[in-house]
Amino acid sequence: MDSLFRSKKMWPFSSAPKTSKRLPTVSIGDVVAYWGDDAGWEFTDPVLLVDCTLFDNDEFNESLVTKLPMVRHWIAELNGEINNAVNEYASASKLHTNCHEMQGIDVSELSASNLVDICYTATDDQWADFAINVVLINGRIDAVYGGD
């Protein structure tokens, strides 16, 4: 009877199937992405000098690196609109205005749907741990939201 419970089909404590190891880094041109168990893929945009993350992506899609110039263009082109949107949200939330800076960009959906989520923060004495995010899709502001 003991051997029946230790068979692979019946024994619930069998070892998990072995999967291939993920590479800890991916390097494409001047972009070096690092995998972390807490945050997923992360890299610093070499032009904007801002951290980019892929929270929802288990695999690093190399095509997003070719789309980074497009995102930079969107941000430059929409700079005034983005600042106005962040300031309006800050004002409505009773926060200081004209004091924010880009903290990071979630590029998880960039390859699939030309969507980026840009996070703006201010110093602790101005916004504490509050952040305002601006979502861009295909070079247009789609949403603005905030929270801590």
The 10s digit of each residue's pLDDT in 81-115 is 999 999 999 999 999 999 999 999 999 999 999 99
Q: DSSP 3-state assignment of 84?
A: helix
Q: How far apart are CA 122 and CA 108, in angstroms?
A: 24
* pTM for the full predicted model: 0.83
**89: CB partners within 8 A, 6+ apart:** 132, 144, 145, 146
Q: How far apart are CA 122 and CA 102, in angstroms?
A: 9
Q: DSSP 3-state assignment of 106?
A: strand
Cβ count within 10 A of residue 140:
11
Going by pLDDT thresholds of 50, 70 and 90, the confidence category of residue 22 is low
